[in-house]
Amino acid sequence: MEIGAQTVILGGSVAGAGPFIAQGAVVVDAGRILWVGPQADLPSDYASWDMLDLEGRLLTPAFIDCHTHIVHGGHRAREFEMRLEGASYEEVARAGGGIVSTVTATRDADEDSLVASALPRLDALIGEGVSCVEMKSGYGLDREVELRMLRAARRLGDLRPVRIRTSFLGAHATPAEYKGRDDAYIDEVCIPTLRAAHAEGLVDAVDGFCEGIAFNTVQIARVFDVARELDLPVKLHAEQLSNIGGCALAAQYGALSVDHVEYATEADAKLLAASGTVAVLLPGAFYAIRETQMPPVAAFRAHAVPMALATDCNPGTSPMTSLLLAMNMGCTLFRMTPDEALRGVTEHAARALGLTDTGVIAPGMRADLAIWNVETPAELAYRFGFNPLHQRIFGGKE
Ligand code: DI6
Ligand code: FE
């Protein structure tokens, strides 16, 4: 199916435009959505425009993967085997594996090979209707390689029709050369590198890993203070393995999102609701490390905390490149509804990135759309290991 600059999409159902529309129409003009509603109400002015017939298919906003570490060197299949032999994620990390082993592999990779190794992962996401991918640094942990990762992320956006948002994650782990000197790492490397990356236009948001095996709230706050000074939004890996106050800190800084949040409490949910922070649930990591603590989905729901879903695509705890699978896991493992899962990879994922022009089908929004070989939104979350994408539309183009 061809799509012209001025096109009316009709003949199927539409989700992600407010209430589900069983027989809907969407008018696209120059890459933007001009009109959406029931087909029966379509204004006659558009009668002469190009038509794209859904032939009964479902139209949704294109998907957004709002949390990935897709740029990285190497893989950690050996660590996977170690965990199968009984080691925990924390034990592997303390034994010099974990994040730090990917740091070695990433430092050994030049920019071209970082781009080349990330491309198939990015293509897998795009092949499932993804129009926007967040990518973090955090496996360089020195100035040169953190910048290299962010430059590679930007280049990926030039190589493919996809929007890239970058997050600076210098506060991901302390590298071997600073072992035992976490504060010195934050002050001497992380913060100056953030300033340099920002000066080069490489940073859309600032992230951190707030955890017993990573950084405490005082250290993260020092990084967030610099983000504030640079007028950059913040987000935080919080409450993944324990609760050390990450959500409360993030809420205090008006964070776009807190991510993982298995160990968040109802009190955290209240704070997040008040600060308008999105809870990004990452069921791939939950599954891969066989976590048993469930994120407080009922509390998030009760307090109207928006929930997003993402792949957390990374070589250690979530070597996953499927948002459709994340949707299924969000429902099966976390008891989200299929409707919450769909909003989690569209509307709320956009919000977790601070994007206001995508993620919903509404007049004025970018025409980032996905057409699926299914009849109902629930089918997207229900199957797993199956890709029903028919066509992806990015900024009004196929
Ligand atoms: N939490 C995660 O799940 C990833 N990073 C983080 O802060 C794991 C990263 C890794 O193990 O390489
Ligand atoms: Fe992560």
Q: Compute the distance from residue 237 Cα to the ligand 2 centre, in Å.
A: 6
Residue 255's SS3 state is coil
Q: Compute the distance from residue 99 Cα to the ligand 1 centre, in Å.
A: 7
- When pLDDT is cut at 50, 70 and 90, the band that residue 284 belongs to is very high
| Torsion angle, alpha carbons of 289, 102, 167, 110, to 10 | -150
Q: Average pLDDT of the chain?
A: 96
**Which whole-number Å values give the CA distances from 4 to 17, 44, 129, 240, in the listed order?**
22, 18, 19, 45
Q: Compute the distance from residue 38 Cα to the ligand 1 centre, in Å.
A: 44
Q: Compute the distance from residue 45 Cα to the ligand 1 centre, in Å.
A: 52
- When pLDDT is cut at 50, 70 and 90, the band that residue 2 belongs to is low
Lowest mean pLDDT among 23-37, 82-96, 348-362: 82-96
- When pLDDT is cut at 50, 70 and 90, the band that residue 90 belongs to is confident
Backbone φ, ψ for residue 307 (5° rounding): -110, 130
Q: Is the CB of 99 under 6 A from ligand 1?
A: yes
Which tens digit of pLDDT belongs to each residue from 249-278? 999 999 999 999 999 999 999 999 999 999
| Torsion angle, alpha carbons of 212, 80, 349, 171, to 10 | 40
Closest ligand (CA of 135)? 2
- When pLDDT is cut at 50, 70 and 90, the band that residue 349 belongs to is very high
| 119-141 b/e (C-beta count within 10 Å ≥ 16 → b) | eebbebbbebbbbbbbbbbbbbb
With a cut of 60, say whether residue 1 has pLDDT above it.
Answer: no
Q: Which mutation among 67, 68, 69 tests ligand 1's pocket best, with the greatest number of atoms within 8 A of CB?
A: 69
Name which of 187, 125, 63, 177 is nearest 195 in CA terms: 187
Measured by CA distance, the residue closest to atom 11 of ligand 1 is 316
Instruction: Determine the length of the chain.
Output: 398
Closest ligand (CA of 99)? 1
Please write down the HEC assignment for all residues of 195-230. Answer: HHHHHCCCCCEEEEEECCCCECHHHHHHHHHHHHHC
Q: What is the atom index within ligand 1 of the atom nearest the CA of 98?
A: 11
pTM for the whole thing? Answer: 0.97
Q: Which protein residues have a CB closer than 5 Å to ligand 2 (ion)?
A: 312
Instruction: Return d(Cα 341, Cα 297) in angstroms, integer.
Output: 12
Instruction: Return d(Cα 46, Cα 304) in angstroms, integer.
Output: 38
- When pLDDT is cut at 50, 70 and 90, the band that residue 327 belongs to is very high
